[in-house]
Amino acid sequence: MAHSPLHNKHQAVTALVKYLDKIYPDFSEKKTTEESLNRAIRKNLPKKAFVLKHVSSYTLKLLERLFILEELEKAPVESSNLLLKALRNRQHNKRFENKLNKHLKLIENIPERNAAYHYHNFALKSEVDLYYLRQAPYRRDENLQTKVNSLDKYFMSEKLRSACEMINRTLFLNVSYDFHLLDEITKHIRDRIDYFQSIPSIIIYYHIYLTLTEAENPKHYQRIKELLNNFGHQFPREELRNIYLYKYNYCLRQVNKGSQAFLQETFLLIQEFMDKQILLDQGLLYEGLYKNAVSIGLRLRQFDWTKNFIYEYKEMLLPAVADNAFNFCLSSFYYESQQYDLALALLNEVEYTDIVYTLDAKSLLLRIYYQLEEEESFRSHFAAFQKFLRRNKLIAKPKYDRYHNLFRYTQLCFHLKTRWDFQSKTRSRAELQRLKQQIEDEKSISNRGWLKTRLQELEQRLG
Nearest to 294 by CA among 276, 316, 314: 314
DSSP secondary structure code for residue 284 in this structure: E
Q: What was the pLDDT predicted at 232?
A: 93
Instruction: Report in angstroms the alpha-carbon separations of 12 from 6, 38, 85, 160, 205.
Output: 15, 10, 34, 50, 53
Cα 66 from Cα 109, distance rounded (Å) = 28
Region of 440 (left: φ > 0; alpha: ψ -120 to 50; beta: rest) is: alpha
CATH code linked to domain 156-372: 1.25.40
Instruction: Report in angstroms the alpha-carbon separations of 4 from 7, 10, 24, 62.
Output: 6, 10, 20, 11
H helical segments located in 348-396: 355-372, 375-391
Cα 153 from Cα 202, distance rounded (Å) = 7
Domain parsing of the chain, residue ranges: 1-74, 156-372, 373-463
Nearest to 335 by CA among 450, 445, 459, 255: 450
Q: What was the pLDDT predicted at 51?
A: 80
Cα 84 from Cα 92, distance rounded (Å) = 9
Cα 161 from Cα 58, distance rounded (Å) = 39
Q: What was the pLDDT predicted at 377?
A: 93
What does the angle CA 452 – CA 453 – CA 457 come to, to the nearest 5 degrees?
115
Q: What was the pLDDT predicted at 298?
A: 94
Q: Chain-centre distance of CA 270, in angstroms?
A: 16
- Strand ranges inside 124-234, DSSP E: none
Q: Which amino acid is at 307?
A: K
Q: What was the pLDDT predicted at 315?
A: 92
Q: What was the pLDDT predicted at 279?
A: 77
Nearest to 115 by CA among 178, 160, 147, 81: 160
Q: What was the pLDDT predicted at 265?
A: 94
Q: What was the pLDDT predicted at 6?
A: 66
Nearest to 43 by CA among 25, 16, 23: 16
Cα 318 from Cα 6, distance rounded (Å) = 42
Q: What was the pLDDT predicted at 397?
A: 84
In tens digits, the chain (463 residues) has pLDDT values of 666 666 777 888 888 888 888 888 888 888 888 888 888 888 777 666 668 888 888 889 988 988 999 999 999 999 999 999 999 999 999 999 999 999 999 999 999 999 999 999 999 999 999 998 887 766 666 788 999 999 999 999 999 999 999 999 888 777 889 999 999 999 999 999 999 999 999 999 999 999 999 999 999 999 999 999 999 999 998 899 899 999 999 998 898 887 888 999 999 999 988 888 887 878 888 888 899 899 999 999 999 999 999 999 999 999 999 999 999 999 999 999 999 999 999 998 888 877 887 888 999 999 999 999 889 999 999 999 989 888 887 788 888 898 999 999 999 999 888 877 777 888 888 889 999 999 988 888 888 888 999 999 988 887 6
Cα 52 from Cα 19, distance rounded (Å) = 13
How many other C-beta atoms lie within 10 A of the C-beta of residue 433?
12
Q: Please list, in sequence order, all residues whose beta carbon lies within 8 angstroms of the beta carbon of residue 327, skipping any fewer than 6 positions away.
A: 346, 347, 349, 350
Element at 280 (helix H, strand E)? strand 280-281
235 in helix, strand or coil? Answer: coil
Cα 288 from Cα 281, distance rounded (Å) = 13
Omega before residue 25 within 30° of 0, cis: yes
Cα 43 from Cα 225, distance rounded (Å) = 66
Cα 126 from Cα 149, distance rounded (Å) = 12
